[in-house]
A and B are shown apart, each in its own frame.
Chain A
Amino acid sequence: MSEQALLQLRELRAVVGPREQPVHAVRGVSFTVRRGARLGIIGESGSGKSMTALSILRLLPPSGVIRGGKVLYDGRDLLRLPEPQMQRLRGREISLIFQNAAAALNPLFPVGEQIADVYRHHEGGSPRQAWERAVAMLDAMGIPDAPRRARAYPHQYSGGMAQRAMIAMALICSPRLLIADEPTTGLDLTIQAQVLDLIQEQVQRSGTSLVLISHDIAVIAEVCEEVVVMYAGEVVESGPLAEVLRNPINPYTRALLDCFEPKEGRRLPYIAGRVPQLYQEPKGCAFFNRCPQAREMCREIHPPTVEVAPGHRVACHVV
C-alpha cells in the first residue's frame, strides 16, 4: 500500500496457552490503519480482538507466542524489532488503554505521579516539569481540580475518572497510534459517552490514529470511519464503516448487526451457539456451525477474502 498506512498487519498469527494444547487465538489477521484514521475492531468475546491488540505491542501473556505474519509500523516490522527499541516505542509512539482502568493503576502511588513517571521515562526532564505536564494532562481530560486530584491515590478515583487518568497516561507523550481495547466497558452509560467523546476529541486534535476495540457496534459507529469484523481469530469482513453497515455481506456481520437493531415486538435477537474453542484450526469456515446460510462447502473449504466494493472485503463463500 502507501505512505498513507501507519500500521499494517499482514497475516498475523498468535497462539496462547499451554504448549501441548495451544489456542489459536489470532489466525492470519490483516488490516491497515491509515494515518489519522479511526478504525474499529468488532467481534464477540473470544474472537481474538484483544490478542491482536496485544500482539501489536508484543505484550502477549507469558504463554502467548506470535507464530508468524508481520506488524508493519511506519514500514518497520515490529515483530523483528529488538526489545529495547520496542520499549521506547511503547507508550511513546503506540499507546494502549484497556478496560477496568482502576486496576491498571498501581494502588500504592498517587495517580499524577504514575502519569508523570511515564513522561519522564520517555522524555526525561525534571520531576517538576513532568508533574506539571501530568496535571495539565489530567486537566485536559476533564478531571476537575486536577492539581489536587493528581495527588490522590487510584482507589480514590471513580471508574470514569480512572479511565480518564489512563487516557491521560496513554496520551502524555503524544503517541501516533492509540489502541483502545474496550475502553468504556464497565462504565455507566453516561460516563461511557463522555469517555468516548474525550477519546475522539483528543485523537482528532493531535492527529493520532486510533484502533478502537469493542463488542458494541454502537460505540464503533459513533467514533470510527472504518471497521474490521473479527470472528474466531480471523477477519471476516472489513471496510469503510458506512459501507459495511449499509451493505453487510458476511452472515456473521449481519447477525451481529441484527443483535443491535432489534425489530419491534420481537425478542432480543442473539446468535445461537458459541464461539468455537480454537484448540484446532477449523478446516473450513469457523462460523459454519452457527451460520444460517451454511452450505456443504463451508465445512471443508476455507473461504477466501474477496473485495466486493472499494475497500470492502469479505471472507465468505456466500459472496
Chain B
Amino acid sequence: MAEVPLAETPVVLFRRPRWRTLRRWLFCPPVIILALLLLGAVFAPQLARYDPLTPSPGEKLQPPSARHWFGTDPYGMDIFSRVLYATRTDLTVAVLSVLLGIAAGIPLGALAGYLGGWVDEALTRLTEVMQAFPQILFAMAVMAALGNNLVNLVLILAFLNVPVYLKMVRSVTLPLRESDFVLAARCAGHTTGSLVVRHIIPNTLVPVFSQFSLSCSYAVQMVAGLSFIGLGVKIPHPEWGSMISLGANYIVFGMWWPALFPGLATFLAAFALHDLGQRLRRSLLREAEG
C-alpha cells in the first residue's frame, strides 16, 4: 500500500493545545478569579494578618480600616483573614462532594445505559425520585438525622450530585452501545465489566468535564446556603455562609461589612465556576459542530 501520511489530529480530548488557545483560556475572567481565590486559599497563613479563630473582644464590629481591611465581626475576629481561610472550607467541600458524586454517577450511568432493561429502569426511577425531592429539605432532614457536621455535608452534596452525572453518562452511553466499536469489542470477547471500563466510560468523559465546573458552582452555593441556616459548618469555623448569617443581623444597624465581604466571595466563586462551565460547554459544542 502506498504511504499514507498521518492525518492532522482533529480529536478533542488529547490534543496538545496551541499557545493561542491556551492564552485565551488562561486569561479569561473566570479563570483569573478562580486563580486568585485558590492563591488566597493556599497562602492564607501568609496573607492573613490575624488568626481567623481568635476573637478580640476589644475590637468588635470595627469598620474596614488599614488595620482590618474588611473590618471585624461581632466577636472581634478579622473578616479579611476569615474570608481567606473560608475559601479553603467552601472550595474543598464543594469540589470534594462533586468529585464523589461523579465517581459514583459515572459507573452507575454507564451501567444503566449499557445494560438497559430492569437495571436501567430501576436506576432511572431512583434518580427521578431523588430529583423530585427538594434538595435543601433533603439536606436538612439528613443532617438532623445523622448529625450536623462537615463530613455529612460533603456526603449529602455528593449524593445530590449522583443523579446529574448518572443521567448525563447514561444518555451518552445509549448511542455508544449501538456503535460499531462496542460491537467489535464484544466480538473480541470482552466481558461487560471490561467493556464498560475500557470502551464506554472513556467516551463519556467530555460532557462530564464541562458539567464539573457548573456543579462546583452549584455546590458552593449549597454549602454557603446550608451553612447560612446553620447546617454543616459551625460558627467559629471560617465559612462564607455562616459568616454572612452572622453579619446579616447587623445590616439594619448600618454595619454592612460583616455580611458583604463573605457574600462577595461566595458570589465571585459561584459566578466564576459557573461562567467557566458555560464557556467550556460552548467551546465543546463548537468543537462538535466542527
A interface list, Cβ under 8 A from B: 57, 59, 61-62, 84, 87-92, 95-96, 98, 100, 103-109, 117-118, 121-122, 142-144, 152-153, 155-156, 158, 160-161, 166, 169-170, 191, 194
What per-residue 1/0 map shows which CB atoms of B1-37 lie under 8 Å from chain A?
1011011011101100000000000000000000000
Main secondary structure of the interface of B (DSSP, over half): loop
- Is B144 in the interface zone, CB < 8 Å from A? no
Beta-carbon contact of B181 and A103 below 8 Å: yes
Q: Is the CB of B9 within 8 A of A153?
A: yes
- B68 is an interface residue with CB less than 8 A from chain A: no
Residue from B13, B183, B184, B189 within 8 A of A108 (CB atoms): B13
- Given A142-B1, A155-B9, A160-B1, A59–B186 Cβ distance below 8 Å? yes
Asked if residues B187 and A105 are in contact (CB atoms below 8 Å), the reply is: no
Known contacts A87-B191, A155-B7, A155-B10; 19 additional CB pairs below 8 A are A59-B186, A90-B186, A90-B187, A90-B189, A96-B187, A98-B180, A103-B181, A104-B180, A104-B181, A104-B183, A104-B184, A108-B202, A109-B202, A155-B9, A156-B6, A156-B7, A156-B9, A161-B1, A170-B188
Contacts of A161 in B (CB 8 A): 1, 4
Distance to closest chain B CB from A164 (angstroms): 8
Complex Cα–Cα for A122 and B1 (A) = 30
**Within B183-205, which residues are at the interface with A (CB < 8 Å)?**
183-191, 194, 198-199, 202-203
Measured between beta carbons, the chain B residues less than 8 angstroms from A88 are 189
Residues on A with C-beta less than 8 A from B207 are none
Query: Min CB distance, B72 to chain A, in Å?
Result: 54
Q: Give per-residue flags for B148-178: 1 if the beta carbon is below 8 A from chain A beta carbons, else 0.
A: 0000000000000000000000000000011
Q: Kindly list chain B residues whose C-beta atoms are within 8 Å of the C-beta of A160.
A: 1
Q: Are B180 and A121 in contact (CB under 8 A)?
A: no
Which 10 residue pairs across A and B have the least CB separation, nearest first? A91-B188, A91-B189, A104-B184, A103-B180, A90-B189, A96-B187, A118-B188, A104-B180, A106-B181, A156-B6
Residues of B within 8 A of A108 (CB): 13-14, 202-203
Q: How far is the CB of A168 from chain B (nearest CB, A)?
A: 12
> Could you name 14 residue pairs across A and B whose Cβ atoms are closer than 8 Å?
A59-B186, A62-B177, A89-B189, A96-B187, A103-B179, A103-B180, A104-B181, A104-B184, A106-B202, A107-B203, A161-B1, A166-B184, A170-B188, A191-B1
Query: Considering only CB atoms and an 8 Å cut-off, how many residues of chain B contact the other chain?
Result: 30
A106 touches B3 (CB 8 A): no
Q: Which residues of A contact B186 (CB under 8 A)?
A: 59, 90
A121 contacts B11, C-beta separation under 8 Å: no
CB atoms of B187 and A95 under 8 A apart: yes
Bound CA span A158–B188, Å: 22
A161 and B6 CA atoms in complex are apart in Å by: 11
Q: Cα distance A37–B13 when bound, in Å?
A: 44
Does B116 interact with chain A (Cβ within 8 Å)?
A: yes
CA distance A59 to B183 in the complex (A): 8
